[in-house]
Amino acid sequence: MPDASAPAVPPTPPVALSALLAREDLALRLIAGPSDPGLVIHWVHTSEMADPYPYLLGGELLLSAGVHIPEAAGSGTYFDDYVSRIVAAGGAALGFGLAPVHDTVPRALVAACEAYGLPLLEVPPQTTFSGVARAVWQLMAQARLAELRRVTEAQQSLAAAASRADPVPSILRRLAQRVSGWAVLYGPDGTELATAGRLPATAAAGGGPGGGEGAARVRVALAGLAQVVTSRPSTTATDTAVGTHLAAYALGTGQGFVLGVATPHRDPGDHTVASMAAVLLSLLTGEHQSGSGAARSSALVRLLLGAEPEAVAPLLGAGRWRVVHARPDSQAADPVAASALGAALGSALVDLADGEVRVLVPANREPAEQPGWTLGVSAAVTPQDWAAADSQAARALARARATRAPLVRHGARPGLAELVPRDVAAAHARTLLAPIADVPVLTETLRTWLSLHGSWDRTAVALAVHRNTVRQRIARCRTVLGADLDDPDVRMELWFALKQP
């Protein structure tokens, strides 16, 4: 049954009743009930039932032409009963259509709506009920578009603030401006590390920004709410104090930092904006607490200045590593998707180039299949073999794409390569592949074609070229190398050579 205290709310912004009355094309007229500008409509429903209660969810503009009204209704309690049921169901307003049943709105209905505080709208004969409904949907669409634009602009503003030299105070300032309220960052011990904005007028009535008894109560309540999200599994919590809406957002997992927000309203758009700020602050506070960001920066600088990979690896916190190459299954990868993939694999060492993502993952975190991605994974190696692992992951990804497998790992089983000294094997490979060594496209095509057992179609998929292009390249390799590529012994020898670093 409908609950007037907690009506269902659709995923669209409500429409102010005053905005609907302002539509000149509808010519609606408020003839009874309150004219509060804060009254809103969540949807429109038409019914000629004498008791519409079972069919209302709450928040409706109920439209009726009075077909259900008996002739003797004015002398009894019919209208009182009718209006009281609409109010009990949470109806927002009643629209009564003139003609063809009634030339005027019944006086008893006007009196009942006045008594129960239900706004009563007179709908003129030229205005159809479907026209009223269409006007409500149009106003909702306009409100939705305006809200999306506001949220998008706010997110762009927050992202710009995060790139400033003082990112945390900048994010708090932008957030406070966008929600017309007050923002605060609490440390793990509950202290206010940074604040921005002004407490809403309802809270700060007793003084200036952040002053007054009401403001003190709001600050205490918000600090208590921050403790709630750090002591319970929920990462968000809301409350109300002194007419001010409060929200707290735990930053990250187990960090102890909390974002608190005090606003005069609680709008879905404000929650979206605050959540975006919480994500950005989570990244910043996470780096601050763990020091991993500084360690990665140090490792990068040392590599650029000539240090060997094995010398900087201790800064990254692992001895052995895997390289993962990945491509999204549908649209091209973007920085946000690349970072999300890195987080899912347990590493912040992510590189995005030409639509392909490379992730350096500690060997103790075994990469698993990721929905929407195709992955190639190298063997676990020490930093001095990162380059070789990168090649392994690239080949594994090519094979995964060709076979349409979500993940392919580089084979780590001991093979014949271990029976031949590495320098001897490398010299033999250079000699054998010399005719195509200066044409990387031929080398890569031959490697992929051999790895896929000479399949033209799979090789074309793996290299993202036409199968005729593959045939032409392999024919060129056959000619330049002077080799019979149909001979399994020749294929084996070439594959052995191509696997050498």
Q: Tens digits of per-residue pLDDT, 20-33? A: 999 999 999 999 99
Give the pLDDT of residue 3: 43
Give the pLDDT of residue 209: 43
pLDDT digits (tens, 9 = 90+) for 234-245: 678 888 888 889
Across the chain, mean pLDDT equals: 84
Instruction: Please state the pTM of the whole predicted model.
Output: 0.46
Instruction: Extract the tokens encoding 133.
Output: 């409904």
Residue 435 clears pLDDT 50, i.e. is over it: yes
pLDDT digits (tens, 9 = 90+) for 418-429: 455 667 778 888
Give the pLDDT of residue 289: 47
3-class SS string, 132-169: HHHHHHHHHHHHHHHHHHHHHHHHHHHHHHHCCCCHHH
| Higher-pLDDT residue of 258, 317 | 258
Q: What is the mean pLDDT of residues 403-409?
A: 88
Task: Of 90-94, 257-261, 379-383, 485-489, give the range with the top mean pLDDT.
Answer: 90-94
pLDDT digits (tens, 9 = 90+) for 45-66: 999 999 999 999 999 999 999 9
Contacts of 35 (CB under 8 A, 6+ apart): 18, 119
Whether 107 and 74 have beta carbons less than 8 Å apart is answered as yes
- Strand-pairing partners, residue 45, are 62
Instruction: Extract the tokens encoding 460.
Output: 């074309």
pLDDT digits (tens, 9 = 90+) for 98-155: 988 999 999 999 999 999 999 999 999 999 999 999 999 999 888 888 888 888 888 8
Q: What is the mean pLDDT of residues 458-486?
A: 90
Residue 5 clears pLDDT 50, i.e. is over it: no
Per the listing, tokens 């009743």 go with 17
Give the pLDDT of residue 253: 54
Task: Supply φ then ψ for residue 355, to 5 degrees.
Answer: 75, 0
Give the pLDDT of residue 319: 74
Q: What is the mean pLDDT of residues 6-21?
A: 72
DSSP secondary-structure letter at 332? P
Collapsing DSSP to helix, strand or coil, 93 comes out as strand
Per the listing, tokens 């019919």 go with 78
pLDDT digits (tens, 9 = 90+) for 188-223: 778 888 899 988 776 555 444 444 677 888 889 999
Task: Of 156-170, 180-194, 249-263, 463-477, give the range with the top mean pLDDT.
Answer: 463-477
DSSP secondary-structure letter at 456? H
Amino acid identity, position 104: T
